[in-house]
Structure 1
Amino acid sequence: MKTTISSDALTRVCNILTEARKPTAPRVELTRFELALLADGVATNSDIGDYLITSEFRAYSSIEYFFEELFAPLEIAQQFIFRRPVDPLDEVHGTQGLSAVDATAFLIGLQGLGLQVDPSRLVEKLSDALKDRHSLTGNELEIVLYGNYVNRRRVVLKARPTESGGAKRETTHEDEAGFRFAMQWEGDSVVKLEVLGSLYEVPKPQEHVKCDYCGHEYLTNNTAEARIHQDVHTRRQEMFDPEPEQRFASHLATDVGGERVDHKSPLWMHGAVLERAFEFKREFRYDFVQWPGSSVTRAGEEWVGWLFAADAKGTIAGACAFMNRDAAAAVPDWSLQWVWLAPKFRRSGFLDARWAEFLKLYGDFDIEHPLSEAMQAFVRKHGTEKQKAALPAAVHE
């Protein structure tokens, strides 16, 4: 975090931080301020100031006089608070303050600066109301993640440019709680403050890398990206090194449709074709997926897919899909849209073994272009004269 504040307010903050911490007894019960904040859902700036002087005593409780200048650098937005009118026509007057969530986030920010405040009781109460929420504001996220980051953050506050022209120097300080402070001065004014929490650790270096196996690019030492990479890696592993599938083995054993996937096939087969269609799109950088079926929706009658069995145990080596480009015509106009085989099964004769059957079922079908070099080589060897004639001229010669 790098934020800007006035040099006067920043100097006042440092005067507090460099004074010895005042011993305080741990509290279990909610304070009067906390009870009112939770009951009303809001607190006025005056309420917040009264609370702070009962918690941060250093520098003669001077925090009361400038805490509002810390709202902006801590990214806290004020709003007007009104008393509910007795009559809708009553004139109402608002005063500035914060919602319960924003006030708690503000206290979390002050604690991160090394000030003597304790938002933990408010965090506990508010977290209960947020536990089932999937979408959160920034300040709600501060509350939810409080336990993960308390005393572990690095905070930097910078003062706006001054014209003091004073001598520049740097000072450091470590308080009784283990917070470390580095201050840059210009004359008698602090122009930069760096705060390291008592549990702060220097982040591990990060770099962009690409997984040699699954091809996913991600940032190292990042929990979210590591989780995404693991998900991608696992899905690719299921495609690249497939395990036997009992339901496919059972389907093959009954010989009801075998490897064919049409509008009558089980939904899981449509989903299996879709997964390979995604791999084809990714590998050959197509703009869209060429298979409308999924594990919840069957492809229409104009589509037919095939799952290539690697063995009788139901291992799926790959898939392909045909589309009838003119379903209304008396004679179907079939086109092979794509073929994808797991790398370990390529050049193993899977497509060759089925080509004659495809020609019997779909006639002298077209093959959707562009074709990979491997597919062009296959067509030159096994394709019909019509299919060969459709190859790029340079390759056909």
Structure 2
Amino acid sequence: MVTRSHGGRRSAADRLEQQLIADRFLTEPQMEDLLFAYGINWPSYALPMERLAECFGVQLTRSYSRPTVRGGASLGFRSVARPDAVHMLIELKRLGLPIEPRSLVTALVDHVADARTLSASELSAYWYRSQRDKWPPRTIGSEGRTNRSNAIRETHRTATGYTVEFWRDADRIPREMTVRAPRYRRPRRQIDATCPECAFEYTQGDPDSSAAHRREHRVRMSVLAPRANRRIQAVCEPDTGRVRVTARSPVWLHREMYERARAFKREFRYDFVKWGSGRRDDDPMVQGFLFVTPDDRFTGACAFRWRDFSTDAPARWGLQWIWISPAFRRQELSIVTGLGFGPSLAISWSRHRLRPPWTLFSVLMGMRDY
């Protein structure tokens, strides 16, 4: 296969690319013409397009011209569908060939922008922008492992910066080829880890997992090590050290309640978060309380719901959950007695049944350290 740069072919490549975008298919001859327009003299007599497609996991299909009338005849052609054609071009670029399918990739990614599921070929296009020229080395060769002790090694660099390593046998017949992208970097070793501060489990060396840890770390540390919040003064009930949260409270207070309910769920391994959502708990019979320090920090929260047992037992408020930041535990601070529910309060927490006086110490007796 010979590659040549020829400026006059660019217009032909543009025309075929636009045809692929508009018609969604290219026939076998048109696909060969597109490769030729890129400057690749493809030896179709030695490697037919069907066989080339199979090398990249693509199956040729048949496309049909639209009938002029319903029920009319239609001509069918062996063709390559647009996602598969883009995937093939990307794979050929990975082998160091002078192909730049950027416009086709952009059109395909825009086409599936709202799709919730992608095919393998569409996923290849979706990753193209971030992985371009960074792919890991690709090795192809004849069946069986090449005996490199008697092989001849040759190294070349393509016009696009790819390094190609050939291994030839004693008769100088190529047996194996490895292509390395110019911007490839060996990935870091991946190690399963748990953050000692926020207890988030992630994989070191995996960019996506590390990014997820950074996002979650900020959220978790905002409740594990709370900072002063100037907005608290405007909503804190005077001389109580608490902020009451109901269904009508501002969204930011619901978010503070929700994150502490998430912390409660994580620590005690409950199946769900015991607060509506990060935007609101719309239960009209819910009352949440955020505990406040003198320096305007939220140290924890608890939630009560009205319980009508439909039995002889009287309806009353029930403590659903309570969670305190680890740094503020075991300090003998009375909290539940000051919430104003009086004798109509029933507190149950898993198997623990709590009786007055309800203090932070007694509530947390059954809790292990975070």
Structure 2 vs 1, CA of residues 132 and 23 (structure 1 numbering), >3 Å: closer, same or farther?
closer
Structure 2 vs 1, CA of residues 26 and 354 (structure 1 numbering), >3 Å: closer, same or farther?
farther
1:356 aligns with 2:326: no
1:210 aligns with 2:198: no
**In structure 1, what is the equivalent of residue 135 of structure 2?**
153
Counting helix residues as a fraction of each chain, which structure ranks higher? 1
Q: How does 1:342-381 map to 2 (within 5 A)?
A: 342-350=325-333, 353-357=334-338, 361-363=342-344, 365-370=346-351
Q: What is the SS of the residue equivalent to 2:197?
A: coil
Residues 341-387 of structure 1 show CA distances to partners (whole Å, capped at 9, x for unaligned) of 1112112334xx2243358525462321156xxxx9xx699569xx9
Q: How does 1:70-89 map to 2 (within 5 A)?
A: 70-89=52-71
Contact 1:359 1:365 in 2 (8 A): no
**In structure 1, what is the equivalent of residue 228 of structure 2?**
244
Contact 1:53 1:64 in 2 (8 A): no
User: What is the identity, as a one-letter code, of the residue corresponding to 2:71?
Assistant: L
Number of aligned positions between the proteins: 357
CA distance in 2 between partners of 1:199 and 1:308 (Å): 52
Q: Which of 293, 301, 320 pairs up with 1:319?
A: 301
Q: Which of 81, 92, 109 pairs up with 1:99?
A: 81
Q: What is the SS of the residue equivalent to 1:311?
A: coil
CA distance in 1 between partners of 2:252 and 2:72 (Å): 65
Structure 2: runs of 5+ lacking an equivalent: none
Percent identical pairs in the alignment equals 25
Q: What is the SS of the residue equivalent to 1:72?
A: helix
1:269 aligns with 2:263: no
Shift, 1:98, TM fit? 1.9
CA distance in 2 between partners of 1:48 and 1:125 (Å): 18
CA distance in 2 between partners of 1:334 and 1:185 (Å): 82
1:222 aligns with 2:206: yes
Contact 1:156 1:194 in 2 (8 A): yes
1:280 aligns with 2:264: yes
Contact 2:158 2:164 in 1 (8 A): no
CA distance in 2 between partners of 1:110 and 1:341 (Å): 58
Contact 2:236 2:243 in 1 (8 A): yes
Shift, 1:253, TM fit? 5.1
CA distance in 1 between partners of 2:63 and 2:170 (Å): 40
**In structure 2, what is the equivalent of residue 43 of structure 1?**
26
Contact 2:193 2:201 in 1 (8 A): yes
Residues 275-318 of structure 1 show CA distances to partners (whole Å, capped at 9, x for unaligned) of 211100001111222233652342331x33221111263x2110
User: What is the identity, as a one-letter code, of the residue corresponding to 1:91?
Assistant: A
Contact 1:305 1:320 in 2 (8 A): yes
Contact 1:154 1:197 in 2 (8 A): yes
Shift, 1:181, TM fit? 3.2
CA distance in 1 between partners of 2:100 and 2:249 (Å): 61
Residues 45-68 of structure 1 show CA distances to partners (whole Å, capped at 9, x for unaligned) of 22112332454556xx41464242
Shift, 1:215, TM fit? 1.0
Q: Which of 323, 336, 340 pairs up with 1:340?
A: 323
1:22 aligns with 2:4: yes
Shift, 1:100, TM fit? 2.8
**In structure 2, what is the equivalent of residue 10 of structure 1?**
none
Q: Which of 171, 177, 181 pairs up with 1:197?
A: 181
Structure 2 vs 1, CA of residues 110 and 332 (structure 1 numbering), >3 Å: closer, same or farther?
same
Shift, 1:205, TM fit? 2.2
Q: Which structure is higher in RCO with an 8 Å CA cutoff and minimum separation 6?
A: 1
CA distance in 2 between partners of 1:54 and 1:309 (Å): 70
The TM-score, its normalising length taken from structure 1, stands at 0.74
Q: What is the SS of the residue equivalent to 2:231?
A: helix
**In structure 2, what is the equivalent of residue 5 of structure 1?**
none
User: What is the identity, as a one-letter code, of the residue corresponding to 1:85?
Assistant: P
Structure 1: runs of 5+ lacking an equivalent: 1-15, 393-397
Structure 2 vs 1, CA of residues 124 and 26 (structure 1 numbering), >3 Å: closer, same or farther?
farther
1:289 aligns with 2:270: no
Residues 197-218 of structure 1 show CA distances to partners (whole Å, capped at 9, x for unaligned) of 2332222222221111111111
**In structure 2, what is the equivalent of residue 300 of structure 1?**
284
Q: How does 1:135-174 map to 2 (within 5 A)?
A: 135=116, 136-156=118-138, 161=143, 169=151, 171-174=153-156
